[in-house]
Amino acid sequence: MERIPYIAVLVVYAVVLLAHLLPSAVPAGLRERVRLVAGVGALLHLATLAEEAVFSTWSPGLPEALSACSLGVMTAYFFVAHGQQRALGILLAPLAMVALGTALVVPHATVSALDQTDGLNVWLPIHLALLFAGVAGFALSSAVGVLYLYVRDALKKKRFDRIGRLPSLESLDRIQFRSMLFGFIALTLGIGAGGALATASFQESWALDPKVLYTLAVWFWYFVALQARLILGRRGRWTANFSIVGFGAMVFSLIGLNFILASWHSYG
C-alpha cells in the first residue's frame, strides 16, 4: 500500500472526528463544512485505491479490504450527515480511522484465490465494490442502531439530560433500516458477482467455500431482519439488535475468518 496518501486521508478523517468531538478546537469555517471535508477525504481515499488498482501490480488482501471498509464508512457518513449529526460523526469517523489505520500496519497478504484469477476479469472489481458498499451500509446501520438503543434507553429511563441534541427515534430507525436495506441489496449483488467471478475463473466448485457459506449465513441473518420488519412490522430495537450483531459478524468475516479457515478468500 502507498503510505503517504493514506496517511493524508487519515489526517482528514481525524479532522472530521475532531470537528465533532471538540467543536471549539476547530475553526468555525471548517466546523460548518465538516461534511465537505469528509467528502474530500473520501474522494482522495477512492483516488488512491483506484490508482493502486489501475497502475500497480495490484493484489488485494487484508489491508485493501480494511481500506475499502474505511472508505465505505466515510462515504456512508458523507451521505447521511446532514446538519448537526454530531453523534454520527463521533461513531463513524473513528470506525473509518481504525479500519484505515489497521490497514496501514497489518502485513500484506493476498487473497489466495486471486492467484488463479485472471487479472482482467471484469467481475473482480464489481464483486469487491458491491461487497464493500454492502459493508458500508451495514456499518452505518449498526452505528445508527447503537445510537437508537442509546436514545431509546434514555427515554425509557427518563434520563432526558442524556439525550441532548441527538436525532429523534423515528429518524434513527429510518436511517438504520434504509442503510441495512442498501447493504443487503449490495451484498446480494456482490455475492452474485462473486459467483460469476468464480464460474469464469476457477475450475473447482466454489459454493462450499467456508467464507462463502459464512457470508451466506450473514446474508440470511439480514434477510430475517428485513423480513421481520417488512412483514411483521418489527422495527426499532429489533432492527438495531439485528444490525449490531450482523455487522459484528461481517467484521469477523472480513478480518478474523480469513485467518482461521482455509478458504479461497484466506490471506496468504
39 sits near another protein (criterion: CB under 8 A): no
116 sits near another protein (criterion: CB under 8 A): no
Cβ nearer to another protein, comparing 127 with 229: 229
Site for another protein in 178-207 (CB under 8 A): none
Beta carbon of residue 29, minimum distance to another protein (angstroms, whole number): 13
Nine-digit cell string for 56? 500497480
As to burial, measured by CB atoms within 10 angstroms (0-12 exposed, 13-18 middle, 19+ buried), residue 44 is middle
160 sits near another protein (criterion: CB under 8 A): yes
- CA distances (Å), 35 to each of 42, 79, 91, in order? 10, 9, 14
List of residues 6+ apart from 9 with CB closer than 8 A = 41, 44, 45, 48, 100
User: Could you count the other beta carbons within 10 Å of the beta carbon of residue 267?
Assistant: 19
Single out the segment in contact with another protein by CB under 8 A; choices: 114-122, 200-208, 228-236, 242-250. 228-236
Q: What is the C-alpha to C-alpha distance for residues 8 and 43, in angstroms, rounded to an integer?
A: 12
Beta carbon of residue 31, minimum distance to another protein (angstroms, whole number): 10
Cβ nearer to another protein, comparing 168 with 199: 168
233 sits near another protein (criterion: CB under 8 A): yes
> Which residue has 493514506 as its cell numbers?
6
On whether the CB atoms of residues 173 and 239 are closer than 8 A, the answer is yes
110 backbone dihedrals φ, ψ, rounded to 5°: -85, 150
Q: Name the nearest CA neighbour of 39 among 4, 80, 84.
A: 80
Q: Which residues pair with 132 in a beta bridge?
A: none
Q: What is the C-alpha to C-alpha distance for residues 96 and 183, in angstroms, rounded to an integer?
A: 17
The single residue among 237, 241, 245, 255 that binds another protein, judged by CB under 8 A, is 237
The single residue among 236, 240, 251, 267 that binds another protein, judged by CB under 8 A, is 236
Q: How many residues bind another protein (CB under 8 A)?
A: 19
The single residue among 98, 235, 252, 253 that binds another protein, judged by CB under 8 A, is 235
Single out the segment in contact with another protein by CB under 8 A; choices: 98-106, 202-210, 212-220, 229-237. 229-237
158 sits near another protein (criterion: CB under 8 A): yes
147 sits near another protein (criterion: CB under 8 A): no
Residue-wise DSSP of 169-222: HHHHHHHHHHHHHHHHHHHHHHHHHHHHHHHHH-SS--TT-HHHHHHHHHHHHH
Cβ nearer to another protein, comparing 25 with 232: 232
Single out the segment in contact with another protein by CB under 8 A; choices: 86-94, 118-126, 235-243, 252-260. 235-243
The single residue among 18, 40, 169, 226 that binds another protein, judged by CB under 8 A, is 169
The single residue among 167, 183, 194, 246 that binds another protein, judged by CB under 8 A, is 167
Beta carbon of residue 239, minimum distance to another protein (angstroms, whole number): 10
Q: Give the residues lining the site for another protein (CB under 8 A).
A: 151, 155-156, 158, 160-161, 163, 165, 167-171, 232-237
